[in-house]
Amino acid sequence: MDQHEHLLKPGTLWPTLLERTAHARDRKAIFTIPTTPEVIEQSGVAFQVRVITALAKKEEARAAQLNANPFLPYDPDLFVAEISPTHVALLNKFNVVDHHLLIVTRAFEDQEALLTREDCAALLICLNEIDGLGFYNAGPAAGASQRHKHLQLIPLPASPKPRLPIEPLLRSIQVAGAIGTAPGLPFLHACAPMDLEWLDPRKAGASSLLTCYHSLLRAVGLSVEAPSAPYNLLVTRQWLLLVPRSEEYFEGISINALGFAGALLVKDAAQLALLRKHGPMTALQRVALPQGS
């Protein structure tokens, strides 16, 4: 049987994700890390901070991911769908948010590698099916805990309010040509509006998204020929944001792409107190690069 015979049919990813999540829970194949929510406001952003209440499981998960490749082979109980001939969708085994989807290359590619047209196509297929936040942690210093290349997608709530804490700052994007910046973000970054036509499977959206991604890389001084530095890429149906990274940790707090969406995860009350003292935007500034660099 052709392994690509059962590629995802349009309009089926969300119901399939719900079904496969229920299956994985029944099989005890996924573990939702218990957290308590907090809000810290700084620079016009109401940052969502989750405090882990079962740290041992989180550390166990990170150690397991660092010591093995959970995607080759992947656990069949975590399988969601065949996205394309090059990518599959899997459940995130250790999740904080429900229905956290991983978009994984079938063959091994390095997590520090540049995104390809095939990566962009797989992401667009998923974004067309699920209105969410797609993101890529390019390398360990960008918060990646697994070397096998994977993008991620988290569904967003259907709400008229800002669905991501950072969105109020992205409403004031100043665009020069196709690429712009958000004046409220005090670190090196580049952003761009998303063209909804790219989501149309009848259009050549993957090539357009790849071109935009390359433009974002160039705007912050990164190479489009080979991996040159760690960064986080965030993609929604409305916008794209790329942030180069200087390091993974702020005062022991690991920050990945979700941090730049305004969502942070801390281990305990001591780390929460650190964030309250310094401010989440200050933490992001410290793990990014200075403006103008």
Predicted local distance difference test score (pLDDT) of residue 4? 58
CATH domain 13-287 topology = HIT family, subunit A (3.30.428)
Does the CA dihedral 77-125-259-105 come out positive or negative?
A: positive
The CA-based angle 87-144-90, given to 5 degrees, is: 30
Predicted local distance difference test score (pLDDT) of residue 68? 72
Non-local CB neighbours of 192 within 8 Å, separated by 6+ positions: 175, 178, 179, 180, 212, 215, 216, 239, 240
Predicted local distance difference test score (pLDDT) of residue 162? 84
Predicted local distance difference test score (pLDDT) of residue 57? 54
The DSSP secondary structure of 24-66, one letter per residue, reads HHHTT--EEPPEEEEEEEETTEEEEEEEES-HHHHHHHHHHHH
Ordered per-residue pLDDT tens for the chain, 293 residues: 345 568 999 999 999 999 999 999 999 999 999 999 999 999 999 999 999 987 655 555 555 555 578 888 999 999 999 999 999 999 999 999 999 999 999 999 999 999 999 999 999 999 999 999 999 999 999 999 999 999 999 999 887 778 999 999 988 777 766 799 999 999 999 999 999 999 988 788 999 999 999 999 999 999 999 998 999 999 999 999 999 999 999 999 999 999 999 999 999 999 999 999 999 999 999 999 999 87
Predicted local distance difference test score (pLDDT) of residue 84? 96
Helix-, strand-, coil-residue percentages of the chain, each rounded to 5:
30, 30, 40
Phi first, then psi, for residue 13 (nearest 5°) are -65, -45
Q: How far apart are CA 186 and CA 262, in angstroms?
A: 14
Predicted local distance difference test score (pLDDT) of residue 147? 94
Predicted local distance difference test score (pLDDT) of residue 1? 36
Inter-helix orientation angle 269-278/280-287, to 10°: 90
